[in-house]
Amino acid sequence: MSNEEWQHEQEFIDLLYDRLTELRDLAETAVHTAVQSPEGNHAQMRLERNVLVAEQSGLLAAFNAGENGLCFGRLAFRDGRDHHIGRIGIRRDDPDRTPLVIDWRAEVARPFYLATGHTPMGLRRRRHITTEGRRVTGLHDEIMDLADAVRTGHEGTDGDTVLLAALDAARTGRMHDIVQTIQAEQDAIIRAPHHGVLVVEGGPGTGKTVVALHRAAYLLYAHREQLARRAVLIVGPNPAFLSYIAEVLPSLGETGVLLATPGELFPGVTATGTDTPEAAEVKGRAAMADALAAAVRDRQALPDSVIVIDHEDGELRLDAGMAQEARRRARETRLPHNLARPHFAFRVIDALTGQLVDRIGADPFGGPNFLGPDDIAQLGKAIATSAEVHGAIDELWPELTPEQLVADFLAEPVHLPDADADAIRRVDGEWTPADVPLLDEAAELLGEDSSAARAAAEAERQELIDYAQGVLDLSYGSRTQEFEDRDDEESEVLAAHDLVDAELLADRHEEADHRSAAERAAADRTWAFGHIIVDEAQELSVMMWRLLMRRCPTRSMTLVGDPAQTAEPGGCGSWETILAPYVGDRWEHVRLGVNYRTPTEIMEVAAQVPRSADPSFAPPRSIRSTGVRPWAHRTDDIPRVAAGAVARESHQDGRLAVIAPPAHHEALAAALPDASAGPSPDLTRPVVLLGPRQAKGLEFDSVIVVEPAELGASDLYVALTRATQRLGVIHTGALPVGLETLAATGSPTPSAP
């Protein structure tokens, strides 16, 4: 029976992959054919072609993503229904398009994650199918109906066998999806309604990040039309984290998602600079919005003395009164600075025109002005085109860019207390992540005048039409004589026909925008996302939340984090602090309480760090035990001992991280030449060297924490909870509060090499 079941599932897997190959070939052919086909002369034809390319390319990406672990489960219902469950849905090539495998996100697949012996949800049995490539390597059956006497030989008494096997597997440096092992509490979060704000809180190892990623995949499945058009944004704490999670959504067949760090959320700026903790905290305060608004108002100036403007009809004098009235009228529009500037300019030009009209056309005997409307209009036009006049306007109300405004503000931080101004003052240097929300705030205050962009686009299009007309003229030069032989009316018709042809030719050669919604969103600061997921949400500042809320006017968001792990000086920490200004108390809070990553031996040690400050602290409950106790080693030569500890771990499978304060990285990197390090380390390497902030959200088989006393409590808690199997600590002085008993409770101290 056992071999028959195995063979049956292998035959099904073979059939499934044959069908996947067919569908992939069809999609590739459709894309190739559409790309190579003529676009036609009509916008509708070009639109249909582009839609076809986009749709088939998306299908092809999903089919390619489903290659590994395509089918992982099977549901046998009491009523005779029998469904295989997989990463993507695939149907047979028959008239009824019968499902071969059901997408894990479909409602009929829910019993795979939720059914229990007490609540079987109509199931007779549930089967977990493990594969390597296209080969079945394991079957595990759970009996849901005890009255069913049929046995396959693959039944197991422990329903968590597959889960524990996945948790104990060696890490690869990339986060894997959990589509085969989603637990009931995780499934409820993944499938929660996408409207409103959902806060997912959980301690280390509770799977909150991977649950959020599966939630993104589910929402794109359940609300495909809306979210594919508006895109989903996932914000992660650092580049290493984004690299770590980058393969999860593609493995689930979803590519229409934008992943970004907070420092990448202002198009055109990549924030690679570093702030001091004090500067980052000041820049993150809500008061910065008021300070920037005041800085903008400062740039709407009044002249200290009369501005004298040379003009061919005599000097023009722009005084404070005229400028003040123009400024008042411009501010009354309540438009952003750059968009209000034309109103200011108009009032100034109008006032200067009136000044000139009074001078030139005044009747010395007090009668009506001699100048008529046409004369006044001509004078106004001359003033409006005067470079000297516009120079004066620029001096009083300059057009500004966000980069220019923020750079000037940081060089001289006005409207801030002296201590805060000193903390953030910077004359030059690279943009930092804390600058990004300031740039975004500045863009809001200044406004974006699209008229120049439209004019440039129209000019570019006209150049393309002119070029196309030239091509037509060369191609149809023989028609010149035909024009000469016809009357004027016929010639005009032919000329109009050629103009239309030139426009169509230009349209056909104009580069179409084939970018995905996510790619277009990355380049558009004003893009409104359909849903935003924020990981380590407790770390973001008030100013960064202002930016994110602007990106999602519908407030459809999933926030993931753990206030106990807040480490950034400007981090909000509290969910109420984050959300109250935007949604009040209209948000849902759920907490994940099971630690799937960290074994009991490590969690017992790590929990002492926050517990030393808060005796009521309750860590997540670990479901695994490895029997390996953490160790500690005291030394005067950290690099040498770290190198020895890494060497001793080298025979183990998986990945090892050395987590140390940045001040020790140079010496450790020299002692660990094979370790990957830097701002964006290669997490697939056997050994990586990280700072505690870089390690957020990551996991490794083994972790060595260096000099824990130099880490803040939150950073230390994060560092200690990254390991899935083994943990060691190397230190020179006394262990910090909470870890005093580590050496006594751990395994024998490793000998120094």
d(CA 224, CA 253): 13
pLDDT at residue 469 tops 80: no
CA angle 507, 509, 514 (to 5 degrees): 90
pLDDT at 753: 40
Give pTM, 2 decimals: 0.82
Residue 205 labeled ligand binder? yes
- pLDDT > 90: percent of the chain: 58
Is residue 593 within 8 Å of residue 621, measured between CB atoms?
yes
Query: Among 154-163, 228-237, 671-680, 698-707, which stretch is predicted with the lowest mean pLDDT?
Result: 154-163
**What is the band of 155 on the pLDDT scale with cuts at 50, 70, 90?**
confident
pLDDT at 695: 93
DSSP 637-650: -HHHHHHHHHHHHT
Per-residue exposure over 174-187, b if at least 16 CB sit within 10 Å of its own CB, e if not: ebbbbbbbbbebbb
Residue 206 labeled ligand binder? yes
d(CA 501, CA 494): 11
**What is the band of 466 on the pLDDT scale with cuts at 50, 70, 90?**
low
Kind plus residue range of the DSSP H or E element containing 466: helix 451-475
pLDDT at residue 745 tops 70: no
**What is the band of 730 on the pLDDT scale with cuts at 50, 70, 90?**
very high
Q: What's the mean pLDDT in 536-559?
A: 96
**What is the band of 744 on the pLDDT scale with cuts at 50, 70, 90?**
low
pLDDT at 473: 55
- CATH of 184-267+525-595 given 2.70.180.20, 3.30.70.3270, 1.10.260.40, 3.40.50.300: 3.40.50.300
pLDDT at 401: 96
* CATH 3.40.50.300 is the classification of domain 600-744: yes
Per residue in 350-396, pLDDT tens? 999 888 888 776 767 677 877 778 877 888 888 888 899 999 999 99
pLDDT at 367: 73
Residue 204 labeled ligand binder? yes
Residue ranges of E strands in 194-328: 197-202, 232-235, 257-260, 307-309, 316-318
Greatest mean pLDDT among 462-466, 494-498, 592-596: 592-596
**In sequence order, which residues have a C-beta less than 8 Å from that of residue 361 and are 6 or more positions away?**
369, 370, 371, 375
pLDDT at residue 159 tops 90: no
d(CA 286, CA 61): 42
Q: What is the 3-state secondary structure (H, E, C) of 411-422?
A: HCCCCCCHHHHH
Q: What is the 3-state secondary structure (H, E, C) of 685-736?
A: CCEEEECCCCCCCCCEEEEEEECHHHCCHHHHHHHHCCEEEEEEEEECCCCC
pLDDT at residue 135 tops 80: yes
For residue 383, the one-letter residue type is: I
Is residue 641 within 8 Å of residue 751, measured between CB atoms?
no
Number of Cβ within a 10 Å radius of residue 553: 9
**What is the band of 496 on the pLDDT scale with cuts at 50, 70, 90?**
very low
For residue 344, the one-letter residue type is: F
Residue 40 gets the label, from left (phi > 0), alpha (psi -120 to 50) or beta, of: left
Q: What's the mean pLDDT in 190-217?
A: 92
Per-residue exposure over 456-471, b if at least 16 CB sit within 10 Å of its own CB, e if not: eeeeeeeebbeebbee
Q: Which two tokens stand for residue 453?
A: 């962009």
d(CA 509, CA 518): 25
Q: Which two tokens stand for residue 419?
A: 């201590």
Q: Rounded to the nearest 5°, which phi and psi values hold at 198?
A: -115, 120
pLDDT at 354: 87
Per residue in 398-430, pLDDT tens? 999 999 999 999 999 999 999 999 999 999 889
d(CA 271, CA 265): 9
pLDDT at residue 114 tops 70: yes
Residue 208 labeled ligand binder? yes
Per residue in 615-661, pLDDT tens? 888 889 999 899 999 999 999 999 999 999 999 987 777 899 999 99
Number of Cβ within a 10 Å radius of residue 533: 25
Q: What's the mean pLDDT in 295-306?
A: 95
d(CA 702, CA 686): 10
